Structure 1
């Protein structure tokens, strides 16, 4: 059953459906929401409390502003998921056009969006299952990918961003070399099994222990690095190995003579000049904390034994607009 809920006035502009309205379009809206499991009331064409609550549930589930009003964005999303009476993943959105060849942005829908979400999911940026609808969650995933790849964080999947995503999907990180001792995409070894077992213990990895460093393992490592306040490369270098608590258990062999734990450390600091500095940093580094030294009050955004890792982390924060720097304590 095809469902169309868009209403137009004499000027051709879409009208919103909201509480108090009564029309055949409201009936179609109720049928659509009922087929998705959000609406349990009668199909009567009256936009009442039950219909409003069903709209809010749909909006929350699709990361649309939870207003209870069916505006243009909500209408577009509903039409996409309810037309043809098929499952959500198999819909073909009727508003596709050549613009998908150039940009994908919030409000778009269709198989191109599903493919984008699938790729971002495999890279560890998109949480949840692909829906084919470009909502807030997809925008945030695109922004995070752009930030990590030195692209303007617009949230729009433009040609440059799409090309970079394809490159990230198509080949291992060129900065990661097994010869340097790093554990990289494509390796199969006992030390990969060790990493997978440790990630499983910490709740980051739920798959079978295979000893193969594939996309799932890389994404789990990247998530661990984010939670640990590290730069999320997705590769296991000596710092990541140590932070995982693996100690001297088959460490990356090319990195020798690490600095003892009781020696001085490279710390990424962000001077506190505003009351919201710490909470802003914690949006990206959840384990950041406030500290004080002869430098004054600052946010400790990560501690590293290797200066190059600290510099990467500092650069990541500078790209986000923070006055980050590396200090040696």
Structure 2
């Protein structure tokens, strides 16, 4: 009997346990079918999105439960999800960023929703239309820039056939397909920002894969590197074959054989032999001064030998900035050069430690640079040049001369615009030279030394822009130079009435073609620039880009379109009926639009989360305008969290930004941000490169941050640095109101 009772009790206990288990496992039943179904997730169109935590969860530094614990996030806390990979989500919580397990947060399904068609964006890029040297391309355009665009679209799989230099219906269709695939408004127009992304970023091809294209950018001065291809490469190879450095026929691809030929050419012609066809190398290759492989090079005469010779650098400088804590091959290159110059005595180990930083500071101080221990472009320009001073060497004193005070300099001159003159050196001089190079007044590289060539270039710039010609770069000269309306070299100061002598016909009646050089070519290029067929400056070298421009003009005038400027073409160009690239008969009015600064009345004060964030997501390429100086630069926004992360698009954009800030600093400034839909918002930014970098050729070793207005509660939840930016924004907004 007792055994029976025990069995009954045991059976009862088992039944109760089963009931409890059944209650603990809820089953969601469909009312329609009665079958089990999974929880339906809320759908969003893209990352990042806002959600909440289910329970208290650990925020980790990496995707691992063993990584550093950054913060314990409470249950039902609001977080921002930037990405999900496997069982981990990359999130932001207040001022913290890290990773949490997806089991403990409310996930949402990211599904791209077809966007409502957006209005055609404003094509004019205010305040600076010519972003990094790119010209706006649309249906009806012709020339070398179109050829490069077509080759790039062919490479990406959006266009079939061959590049013919005519922007027709097929090219427009391919551009629209490219824009749609890369989340741009489908306008069929390639503005400067989209072209910068096409050539320098990682665009998606027709299959949706992110790639870096090999087609060379049409912007003047771009260096050719292994794998680049295009018409410019073909022209370079043809010239190397003529000079005896390369055998066979042009392949159109910058391959190993071409690199070897360039190295040989550079060595024979007294250039740094690194195999990279930079602007200086390309210009010399196509010039009459190029020394052939079979010729004997004439030794260069040094007018004033240095008292103690500086060891000549044997390697090219690193491309990225280096600072304390960095490691790798670039650091070794830096250490070797400092050792050659007797500043560094340690082991070349590729580690940027205290001894390397100390040696670098000593070099910078001795060579008139800012002794900050960071190796950037200004430091490289001098460190890897023959003019670098070795340790213990005293520079030859400059001749004593009476210097007339610059008319622009006053006792109240702004500290951010230091007057620069002959024999000055350092970062400010290097930035000045880069700006003069970009506008066509100075050739070569920015070495940070204010010598005779820089004086000559400054005078030419001052003359073209209606300033006092004294060769000294004071505040007024620099404000015009770095502003959005500076005239390029060879541009007319005023539009004069057309007369019979307005444009001189080249003195020579002989035909001009690829390989021709001299003043006749320069006159031809100036005319083509005026008529809108050629971009950039007139350098006197008849290259592939000039040939394409001539061909486009001949086609417009119904002449034989062979790219050779013969007597009929030259006569037509010199006539009053020469047709501009916009189809209207004119001989003196350039087709480029004049860029203007945004109006203070258009600037909006809008909350980042409620308004600006969505605009930045739709228009990731924008213009930052510093309203205090009138200087602007182009940016690409790539991340949207509590603020926007961005990079300058080109090296010229970096130079402009650093000019505004006086270098790299965390101290923010209030700015106006102009998006490509024409909207303008008040914001703040700094110039300190840090962490992630995508664009590798912009001389900016990382990215910067862009902040927009937020509520006091939002600012407080983020932290002190957000408070500082908000204060700067509010002060900038007050100034903006006074400018209306």
**TM-score with structure 2 setting the length:** 0.15
Q: Which has the higher Rg, Structure 1 or Structure 2?
A: 2
**TM-score with structure 1 setting the length:** 0.32
